Structure 1
Amino acid sequence: MSVALLAAPGQADAPSAEFLIPSLFLGFLFTFVPALLARRLLNLRSGVLRIAFCTLVALTVSGSAMGRYVQEGNGWSLATVFWGVTLALTMLMLLVLEAFVPGGLGPVGLVKELHHRVLRARRYAQVSAISTRSGLPRFAAGRPSRNTPERNADFAAALRRTLEESGVTFVKLGQLLSTRRDLLPPEFIDELSKLQNEVPPAPWAQVREQLEAELGAAPEECFKDFDPTPLAAASIAQVHRATLADGRPVVVKVRRPGIVRVVDRDLDIVRRMARTLQRRFAWARTIGAADLAEGFADSLREELDFRAEARNLATVAAAGAGRSPVRLPRVHEELTTARVLVMEALDGIPLGSADAALTARGTDREALARTLLDVLLRQIMVDGVFHADPHPGNILLLPDDSLALIDFGSVGRLDTQLQGSLQRLLLGIDQRDPAGVRDAFVEIMDRSDAVDGESLERSLGRFMARHLGPGLTPDVEMFTDLFRIVSAHGVAVPAEVAAVFRALATLEGTLAHLAPGFNIVNESRAFADREITAQLRPESLREAARDELVSLMPLLRRIPRRVDRITADLERGAFTVNTRMFADPAGQRVLSGLLQQALVAVLAATTGLMSVVLLASGGGPRISDQLHLYEVFGYNLLVLSVIMMLRVLVGGFRGRESRGRGR
């Protein structure tokens, strides 16, 4: 087709033998070279079929556009223009296809991707309709400074209705938000705390099919007895009673069929909505909506994999082995998979339903609450791994009046540095030391470089005078005020630390139900005093000093040689200090990419201006009746400008995608 367009009129229909080799060469030049160059310039991993399709369409369009000039006998004069237009159109089509249908999928993957996009668009429209019906957009567009308690209450009610009607993923998100007292006003906390996720159990036929697929055999072959009626049913999974072949009772947690597909689709929508809110509204940027959504997605995906829950339980059990007064169920790993979790059955009553049993037994509720608090604080402060969702349904009262923890789908983890900083934070609050609290916050926060230390310290001083003054009884609410002060100073709470205070807030409600009037703050102080006293014992100090000395030995051995080298350089006058900007390879790549994009953009703009000037001048030697040489140069420069702008455009898209993944 390209050869016919550019050939002389008398040779267009049936080229003779002497034109065969040039025709083949021109066919390769105008068909395959633009395709290969387009793929190279855009740096895309496009398949052969996609490139061939884009090239053929580009040849058809460019051939139609250039047909008038060919009929006038100017085909050879505009050969480079035709070639450039074909290249530019091929690049444009590849770019458009890549934006809507990413490459590397293949025909089957393409169909699946299109199907996935249709389902996501339908679900997005459904959630948008629910939010509109609830009146949520009207509240979200308002300014936070104008929000009154009444407006916040209406806003929170609209949000709760939207989340409740949108399904399991959004209900889980609302339940997470209901624990973030550091981010949301009290009206939102109260309203979102009403969210319940009561769902009917999945049909036994579907559960049985899932058990057979995971265990490789029917439930009757793996268990001596299996009760098809679930003991409990939730949005993610349901629990059945069973008995092993050796007679030991177990509980079998089975993931609801099809829940992963629903959650993945909804999580995609949650992330997109969070990024949109953060881009448009200041209040969403203040609470870090995008980061919150990513953390929620990671947590929910981990909760869907029961192997992760089994690992969490094993880690918590190993950390508190031999000294924890709270019992943990044992996992039968040989029967545990990603969708099925088999654990020891503990004969207990959920704490939320144990009031009658506690009263009948005459159990010391205060002692039980103190034990539960000590266990969680020890997990946080000493072990570094803790149960992140200690609500009454996840705590069992056993027949001997001891407690057991179940459901380790949500577990928090702290490294030793965060543990130390958290201890210093609580110690500073206990000693009413604003400077110490500020320093501890700077250590554990994400954006410590943007903190105005003096202003934060003054705010912390006022906070302590308001909550910790003489005659005042501190309560858990003071932590809510504390984190709001920190957020107001532009400091982001790390997810690990937020999980700690979320767990403590959940535990506060559990302890209030177990032992009304139990003072969690005073008991936490007593725990901290015991731990600090234990750390100050001579044996503990000797052990800590020995560990520190062992870690410092390599550095101490190198110090004399380094001091000698420095003094020698000083004596010779050869001591220098070098600083390297952008020493990080990642920073170098970012800077290099930005400079390249800027340079190509400038060249594209300059070339475009030159092409406009040449086309407007209409001068130069005449090539045909309607065509001058300057016009040929102008068309070529215009095509070159378009190609460079497409290269800049695809670079911008790729940078935006990488920044989105970084967030």
Structure 2
Amino acid sequence: MVDFLGSSLTVASVIFSVLIFALLVRRLLGVRMGLLRTMVAAFVAGALGPTVLQAILPAPPQDQDFLTLGLYVALLSGFVLIVAMAILVVIEALVPTGSLPGPLELRRSARARLSRTRRYLHILRVVARHGLSRFLRGRVHRGLRTAPERRDLARSLRRALEDGGVTFIKLGQQLSTRRDLLPPEFTSELAALQDDAPAVPWPQVRDMLETELGRGVEDVFSFLDSQPLAAASVAQVHAGRLLDGSEVVVKVQRPGISAEVERDLDIIARLARTLADRTEWGASLGLQGLVDGFSEALAEELDFTIESGNMRSVAAALRAAGTDGIRVPTPHTDLCTPRVLVMERMAGIPLGSAEEALVALGEERRGEIADTLLRVVIDQLLTSGIFHVDLHPGNLLVDTDGTLAMLDLGSVGRLGSVTRANVGRLVAALGSGDSQAATDALLELVDRPEKVDERGLEQEIGIIILRFTTAGSTDGAAAFGALFRLVATQRLGIRPEVAAVFRAVATLEGTLTTIDPGYDLLGATRAAGVSRIARELTPEAVRTRVVHEVATALPILRRLPRRMDRLADAAEHGRLSVGVRLLADPRDRRFVTGLWHQALLAILGATAGLMSVVLFAVAPGPLVTPEIGVYHVLGSTLLCISIILVLRVLIVIFRRETDEG
């Protein structure tokens, strides 16, 4: 019992000593380090330091005088301290702080890493099965120069994305609209991706509803069909009726889909970083930015409360514009949660399967419906700033009287006032044939590289205008495709919100031709633009705009004469000067101060080291003990100080490089 107690006290004292020593090391380094790695460094230094020092300078015998023993103990303590600090600096250089997870994080993420590894293996098997492995390495691939070869690769890519699951299907659908990034063979093939999935069993749907709504299904619905109207990879919808008799559609998220998408998005982000670093095509496409935008859009789509808010916003914009002929379902907000959406059931049938109903409406009425849809999209893009990104025929219902209903508002685009103005300028310039104005508007919409051939860009846009906007041209899709290719050729980066505009317009082309096969998108766009300009030039609209601009500029105009008088008076009396404060920004001051501190530490460390060398060279000086002189003590002390100061500079350098990387 006594031996056990003594052993326990010894272990406790060692741990306590190592802890105190570790805290001292962290304090001397001047940088916050992890306690675990600091204790490891202190323990290793405490174990190896005495042995190393004894090999350099043998320890005095135990019967030596007290002063000699005390000096050796002080030297040993300083040596061990320096060794511990040096170990920490080496560890920070090799394994920077934060690059490895802690033990608790390792334990929590073990299951997630195992799941991600299995998913990685599944994706690699899919990639290999469809012959895409060669594109994960190398920089140049020669077998894709002809259109048939590109079509074969696009077909393999589509099949691989379908086998990959919901996240990869959604990614392929978004890529199908990016004509600025991919050749037409790829966009055409990816547009055929199907987002169908087997229905979720009714008991699971019922459990999800009761969990999300916090009450039984019978307490909310008088009727709820157990057979879904449609089942997709993210959610499925059921027809139902509320207790008050309102006909509704209930959209229920598939169980576990959120965790699956989160895991896949993490994998896609890692793959994008790897491909951008290792392949030429990955870097040129800007995969990292593309994946970031896709992740944000898909995260919004998985939160049904966002879709509920989008429906209310779009409906409010339609009411403000006084638009008739297009409706948006009204959500029952008290029954909407992140995974359940209850909304008004709209009358009509999907536009993609409404050929007979459209024929019955007549050719003139079909043209009116297409005009209404185009006008609504233009108003969304240029006025309200919130627009439906994916208006394909499956997201529109058409009633017997021709009324349209917008569905699936989970992912919408949003444009600020400046972007809306630039989009309007671009559309107006294309419609009027002004290539110079179109060039200026396009450059305001994209991320400009350091060097832009503006004259060449203007000439290319002029050719597009002449080719596709002259009388008799009706190929709107080709016009937008040519604009996409021009943007890619000129290396102009498209921001996500602008890419969403192009995607919406490109999708709208097919929808309008579904409504009216002979619809002239370019001609209708020009007519809508003229009509919009006419509305903006009415006396009432001009008066409103002038009043707004004057109200905004009036405070500035009122102060302007007084300020001009002050400037003139100062110039007349020779008191006009311009004051610029050096380092006015606190960040600049912190940077210069930190740089000066590091330089000062380096100078002091070098000076202390040189002084210690000089003292050792002229040692021993006055003797403190029979073998140790004052110069030995001072030289050893200065050497310790020099090493500590240099290590402080090194640890800050390594930490800064890690933070910047």
Bin of the TM-score, shorter chain as denominator length: 0.7 to 0.9
Does structure 1 retain, via aligned residues, the 8 Å contact 2:241–2:247? yes
CA distance in 1, matches of 2:155, 2:606: 55
CA distance in 2, matches of 1:582, 1:283: 43
C-alpha displacement at 1:472, in angstroms? 4.8
- Match of 1:541, SS state, is helix
Taking structure 1 as reference, are residues 643 and 179 closer, same or farther at Cα in structure 2, changes over 3 Å only? same
Partner of 2:208: 210
Partner of 1:652: 657
Does structure 1 retain, via aligned residues, the 8 Å contact 2:238–2:251? yes
Partner of 2:258: 260
C-alpha displacement at 1:651, in angstroms? 2.0
**Max Rg structure:** 2
Taking structure 1 as reference, are residues 576 and 443 closer, same or farther at Cα in structure 2, changes over 3 Å only? farther
Moved more, 501-510 or 91-100: 91-100
CA distance in 2, matches of 1:28, 1:473: 79
Does structure 2 retain, via aligned residues, the 8 Å contact 1:242–1:250? yes
**Residues 1:112 and 2:125 aligned together:** no
C-alpha displacement at 1:476, in angstroms? 2.4
Partner of 2:98: 99
CA distance in 2, matches of 1:538, 1:556: 25
Does structure 1 retain, via aligned residues, the 8 Å contact 2:446–2:493? yes
Q: Deviations over 1:61-86 (max 9, x none)?
A: 22332242465426643432311222
One-letter amino acid of the counterpart of residue 540, structure 2: E
C-alpha displacement at 1:576, in angstroms? 3.4
C-alpha displacement at 1:440, in angstroms? 0.9
C-alpha displacement at 1:388, in angstroms? 1.1
Q: Deviations over 1:496-526 (max 9, x none)?
A: 2211110111111122223222211111111
Aligned pairs for 1:521-532 (under 5 A) are 521-532=522-533
Q: Deviations over 1:171-217 (max 9, x none)?
A: 11111010011221112112211222221122222222221121111
Taking structure 1 as reference, are residues 225 and 471 closer, same or farther at Cα in structure 2, changes over 3 Å only? closer
**Residues 1:123 and 2:119 aligned together:** yes
Does structure 2 retain, via aligned residues, the 8 Å contact 1:597–1:651? no
CA distance in 2, matches of 1:161, 1:561: 71
CA distance in 2, matches of 1:470, 1:532: 21
Aligned pairs for 1:188-587 (under 5 A) are 188-321=186-319, 322-360=322-360, 362=362, 364-447=365-448, 450-468=451-469, 472-473=473-474, 475-577=476-578
Does structure 1 retain, via aligned residues, the 8 Å contact 2:212–2:339? yes
Taking structure 1 as reference, are residues 283 and 559 closer, same or farther at Cα in structure 2, changes over 3 Å only? farther
Q: Deviations over 1:607-635 (max 9, x none)?
A: 799999x99xx9786989xxx99899878
Taking structure 1 as reference, are residues 571 and 324 closer, same or farther at Cα in structure 2, changes over 3 Å only? farther
CA distance in 2, matches of 1:453, 1:468: 21
**Residues 1:148 and 2:139 aligned together:** no
C-alpha displacement at 1:320, in angstroms? 1.2
Taking structure 1 as reference, are residues 611 and 292 closer, same or farther at Cα in structure 2, changes over 3 Å only? farther
Partner of 2:81: 83
C-alpha displacement at 1:452, in angstroms? 3.7
C-alpha displacement at 1:468, in angstroms? 4.0
CA distance in 1, matches of 2:128, 2:642: 50
Moved more, 173-182 or 455-464: 455-464
C-alpha displacement at 1:218, in angstroms? 1.5
Residue-pair matches, total: 619
Does structure 1 retain, via aligned residues, the 8 Å contact 2:50–2:76? no
Correspondence for 1:60 among 43, 63, 72: 43
Does structure 2 retain, via aligned residues, the 8 Å contact 1:164–1:170? yes
Does structure 1 retain, via aligned residues, the 8 Å contact 2:358–2:515? no
CA distance in 1, matches of 2:156, 2:602: 50
C-alpha displacement at 1:270, in angstroms? 1.9
C-alpha displacement at 1:92, in angstroms? 6.0
TM-score (normalizing by structure 1): 0.83
Does structure 2 retain, via aligned residues, the 8 Å contact 1:475–1:520? yes
Taking structure 1 as reference, are residues 366 and 584 closer, same or farther at Cα in structure 2, changes over 3 Å only? farther
Does structure 2 retain, via aligned residues, the 8 Å contact 1:101–1:110? no
Partner of 1:5: none
C-alpha displacement at 1:252, in angstroms? 0.8
- Match of 1:202, SS state, is coil
C-alpha displacement at 1:36, in angstroms? 5.0
Does structure 2 retain, via aligned residues, the 8 Å contact 1:139–1:155? no
CA distance in 2, matches of 1:127, 1:231: 31
CA distance in 1, matches of 2:156, 2:604: 53
Q: Deviations over 1:335-394 (max 9, x none)?
A: 111111100111321111112333355573322222222222222122221111111111
Does structure 2 retain, via aligned residues, the 8 Å contact 1:601–1:648? no
CA distance in 1, matches of 2:400, 2:125: 50
Gap regions ≥5 residues in structure 1: 1-12, 16-20, 657-663
CA distance in 1, matches of 2:197, 2:596: 55
Q: Deviations over 1:397-423 (max 9, x none)?
A: 123331111111011112222222111
Does structure 1 retain, via aligned residues, the 8 Å contact 2:82–2:640? no
CA distance in 1, matches of 2:305, 2:457: 43
CA distance in 1, matches of 2:538, 2:361: 39
CA distance in 2, matches of 1:638, 1:145: 57
One-letter amino acid of the counterpart of residue 41, structure 2: A
Does structure 1 retain, via aligned residues, the 8 Å contact 2:78–2:640? no
CA distance in 1, matches of 2:649, 2:131: 46
C-alpha displacement at 1:580, in angstroms? 7.0
Moved more, 629-638 or 258-267: 629-638
Q: Deviations over 1:234-285 (max 9, x none)?
A: 1111111111011111111111111111111111222222233333444434
Does structure 1 retain, via aligned residues, the 8 Å contact 2:605–2:641? no
Taking structure 1 as reference, are residues 137 and 557 closer, same or farther at Cα in structure 2, changes over 3 Å only? farther
Taking structure 1 as reference, are residues 94 and 201 closer, same or farther at Cα in structure 2, changes over 3 Å only? farther
One-letter amino acid of the counterpart of residue 41, structure 1: V
C-alpha displacement at 1:93, in angstroms? 5.8
Does structure 1 retain, via aligned residues, the 8 Å contact 2:382–2:420? yes
Does structure 2 retain, via aligned residues, the 8 Å contact 1:330–1:344? yes
Does structure 1 retain, via aligned residues, the 8 Å contact 2:601–2:645? no
- Match of 1:297, SS state, is helix
- Match of 1:41, SS state, is coil
- Match of 1:77, SS state, is helix
CA distance in 1, matches of 2:119, 2:97: 23
C-alpha displacement at 1:328, in angstroms? 1.2
Does structure 2 retain, via aligned residues, the 8 Å contact 1:316–1:385? yes
One-letter amino acid of the counterpart of residue 351, structure 2: L
C-alpha displacement at 1:162, in angstroms? 3.2
Partner of 1:660: none
**Residues 1:30 and 2:5 aligned together:** no
Taking structure 1 as reference, are residues 54 and 419 closer, same or farther at Cα in structure 2, changes over 3 Å only? closer
- Match of 2:250, SS state, is strand
CA distance in 2, matches of 1:460, 1:581: 46
Taking structure 1 as reference, are residues 528 and 569 closer, same or farther at Cα in structure 2, changes over 3 Å only? same
Partner of 1:592: 591
Taking structure 1 as reference, are residues 584 and 523 closer, same or farther at Cα in structure 2, changes over 3 Å only? farther
Question: Which protein has greater RCO, CA pairs closer than 8 Å, 6+ apart?
Answer: 2
User: Matched residues, percent identical?
Assistant: 39
CA distance in 1, matches of 2:575, 2:244: 79
Does structure 2 retain, via aligned residues, the 8 Å contact 1:365–1:514? yes
